[in-house]
Structure 1
Amino acid sequence: MNLAAIDLNLLVAFEALLEERNVTRAGQRIGLAQPSMSSALTRLRALFGDELFIRTAACMQPTARALALAGPIGEALARIRETLAPDTAFEPATARRRLTIAVTDYGDLVVVPALVALLRQEAPGIDLVVRPIADPSAILAALERGDVDALIGGHLPGSPRVVRHRLFEEDFICIRDKEHAEPLTADEYLRLPHALFSSAGGDGSPGVVDAILAMEGRRRRVAVTLAHVVAVPFAVAGTDLVATMARRVAGRFAEIAGVTLMPLPYDTPPFAIDLLHNRRATADPALRWFLAVIERIGRSL
């Protein structure tokens, strides 16, 4: 392939189509009328020898070839944008900016307080908007479009169009009422009634602990299912309930709720707390600084 004969603007069109999944919206995003965007798609198909995007009732669905190209093309465009971006020094102390992140309940309780404190110290002119991750697929699409600057949390969906950084790892711990300070045995853990956080309602989806118990042909009894993770330690306090929580979340509420932390009597693997951002963020000095701040906080937790 002769690179000199290729219009590299086609890669920008490809990126827009991948993120918008609609020819008209993709054209509006990069300043092309609908006929010009359709022409760009035709040329892209010829360039790569693939349909790339197939029209469905809902959207322009990317083919397997398009998805395979997404990462390399996104990385190349991000590097070009970063190289060509004005070399403007970002001064957090005097900057005025509005930034938006979306977080899980975990991120809201563990990462956001430290992030707010640091912003108030180092960048008081930056306004922060924190949104919940109610629909992971929808919020991922918002990140790809640039409507959200970053996602923070565990078990977040990925995409070739976003970059994932591991902030730190988290593990599980048990909590009981403060009158019960003795560690639990595996049999006691199963005998006791459990409180469970499930934002989906019902009994929630089987978690890591349930999968481990199932391999042994055992299961726990969930006596109380709660819609908000902050309610769990307060529900456990003063009762015979036991709950399994992320260590850093449980630690924030142990004293105020009146619960005791103790080891989980089963070996469970840790899980990652991640930071996700759009590949285009690296071309923005303010966002580069902001993402570095979040990573710095992650290393301190």
Structure 2
Amino acid sequence: MNLAAVDLNLLTAFEALLEERNVTRAGRRIGLAQPSMSSALTRLRALFGDELFIRTAAGMQPTARALALARPIGEALAQIRATLAPDLAFEPATARRRLTIAVTDYGDLVVVPALVALLRQEAPGIDLVVRPIADAAASLATLERGDVDALIGGHLPDSPRIVRRKLFEEDFVCLRDKGHAAPLTPDDYVRLPHVLFSSAGGDGSPGVVDAILAAEGRRRRVAVTLAHVVAVPFAVAGTDLVATMARRVAGRFAEIAGVALMPLPYDAPPFAIDLLHRRRAASDPALAWFLAAIERVGRML
């Protein structure tokens, strides 16, 4: 393909269509009237030899080819924007800005306190709004729309329109009352009643540990299901219950709740705590600094 013959403005049209899933809104976003945006889509289809976006009741849905193009085109545009952006120095100590993130319960308890401490020390003029991630897919959609600046948590869904950075890895530990502090055996683990955290209510979905147990033909009994993770250690205290929790969360409440931490008697793999943000964040000096600050916090935890 002769690059000189390609209108690179079509790539911004592609990006807008991918994010908006609507021809009119995509055109408005990049300053094109609806007929001009439709023309751009026609030219994009000819350029890539694919329909790219199919009109449905739910909006313009990307084809497999469009999804495959999303990441490389997004990265190329981010690089161009960063190169052409004015070289404006960002001074965190004097900056005034309001930033919004959405986090899981884990992020709220482990990452946010350290992030707030860093902001108060280095960028006291930045106001931080923290929203909960109740529905991961819905929160991802708010990030894609630009309603929030970043998501932080584990097991968050992927999207070709979003950049994912791993902050650190987390693993599981068991909690028991301090009066039952002897290490658990695999048999103990399935014999004892469990307390489970489920933000959605009900019995919760089978987790990693349940899959490991099922592979061995075993199953644990969940005697108590709680809607708030901070309640779990306090429910364990003074009882025969056992809980399985992320190590860093459990460590925050062990002493105050009067519970003991001990190894999980099964080989459960660690999981990642991730930072998700939009590709164009690199062209915003304040947001780029903020995201780098979150990564610094991750390295300290």
Q: Is 1:149–2:149 an aligned residue pair?
A: yes
Offset of residue 200 of structure 1 = 2.0
In the alignment, is the contact (CA less than 8 A) between 1:100 and 1:130 conserved in 2? yes
Q: Could you tell me which residue of structure 1 aligns to residue 28 of structure 2? A: 28
Q: Is 1:41–2:2 an aligned residue pair?
A: no
Q: Is 1:115–2:124 an aligned residue pair?
A: no
In structure 2, what is the Cα distance between the partners aligned to 1:30 and 1:178?
A: 61
Q: Could you tell me which residue of structure 1 aligns to residue 66 of structure 2? A: 66
In the alignment, is the contact (CA less than 8 A) between 1:85 and 1:283 conserved in 2? yes
Secondary structure, in 3 states, of the residue corresponding to 2:100?
A: strand
Cα deviations by residue, 1:110-168 (Å, 9 ceiling, x for unpaired): 00000001101110000001111122122212212222111111011111111111111
Q: Is 1:183–2:176 an aligned residue pair?
A: no
Offset of residue 181 of structure 1 = 1.4
* TM-score where L is the length of structure 2: 0.98
1:42-57 matches, within 5 Å, as 42-57=42-57
Cα deviations by residue, 1:63-118 (Å, 9 ceiling, x for unpaired): 00100100110000000000011101100000000111111110110000000011
In structure 2, what is the Cα distance between the partners aligned to 1:29 and 1:107?
A: 32
Cα deviations by residue, 1:251-299 (Å, 9 ceiling, x for unpaired): 0001111111111111110001111111100111111111111111111
Give the share of equivalent positions with the same residue, in percent. Answer: 89
In structure 2, what is the Cα distance between the partners aligned to 1:109 and 1:235?
A: 18
- Which ranges in structure 2 are unaligned for 5 or more consecutive residues? none
Q: Could you tell me which residue of structure 1 aligns to residue 163 of structure 2? A: 163
Instruction: Write out the 4+ residue segments of structure 1 that deviate beyond 6 Å after TM superposition.
Output: none
Structure 1: which amino acid aligns with 2:10? L
In the alignment, is the contact (CA less than 8 A) between 1:19 and 1:141 conserved in 2? no
Cα deviations by residue, 1:19-76 (Å, 9 ceiling, x for unpaired): 1111111112112121111111111111111110000011101000100100110000
CA RMSD of aligned residues (A): 0.9
Structure 2: which amino acid aligns with 1:11? L
Offset of residue 225 of structure 1 = 0.7
Structure 2: which amino acid aligns with 1:228? H
In structure 1, what is the Cα distance between the partners aligned to 2:256 and 2:63?
A: 52
Offset of residue 9 of structure 1 = 0.9
In the alignment, is the contact (CA less than 8 A) between 1:162 and 1:276 conserved in 2? yes
Cα deviations by residue, 1:196-250 (Å, 9 ceiling, x for unpaired): 0111222111111100100110000000011111111111111111000000000
Q: Could you tell me which residue of structure 1 aligns to residue 284 of structure 2? A: 284
In structure 1, what is the Cα distance between the partners aligned to 2:167 and 2:243?
A: 25
Q: Could you tell me which residue of structure 1 aligns to residue 214 of structure 2? A: 214
Secondary structure, in 3 states, of the residue corresponding to 2:229?
A: coil
In structure 2, what is the Cα distance between the partners aligned to 1:27 and 1:197?
A: 45
Secondary structure, in 3 states, of the residue corresponding to 1:194?
A: strand
Structure 1: which amino acid aligns with 2:71? G
Secondary structure, in 3 states, of the residue corresponding to 1:152?
A: strand
Larger displacement relative to structure 2 (107-116 or 258-267): 258-267
Larger displacement relative to structure 2 (143-152 or 263-272): 143-152
- Which ranges in structure 1 are unaligned for 5 or more consecutive residues? none
Q: Is 1:82–2:82 an aligned residue pair?
A: yes
* TM-score where L is the length of structure 1: 0.98
Q: Is 1:273–2:273 an aligned residue pair?
A: yes
Q: Could you tell me which residue of structure 1 aligns to residue 136 of structure 2? A: 136
In structure 2, what is the Cα distance between the partners aligned to 1:259 and 1:28?
A: 57
Structure 2: which amino acid aligns with 1:27? G
Q: Could you tell me which residue of structure 1 aligns to residue 202 of structure 2? A: 202
In the alignment, is the contact (CA less than 8 A) between 1:178 and 1:259 conserved in 2? yes
Larger displacement relative to structure 2 (28-37 or 5-14): 28-37
Larger displacement relative to structure 2 (139-148 or 170-179): 139-148
In structure 1, what is the Cα distance between the partners aligned to 2:230 and 2:30?
A: 43
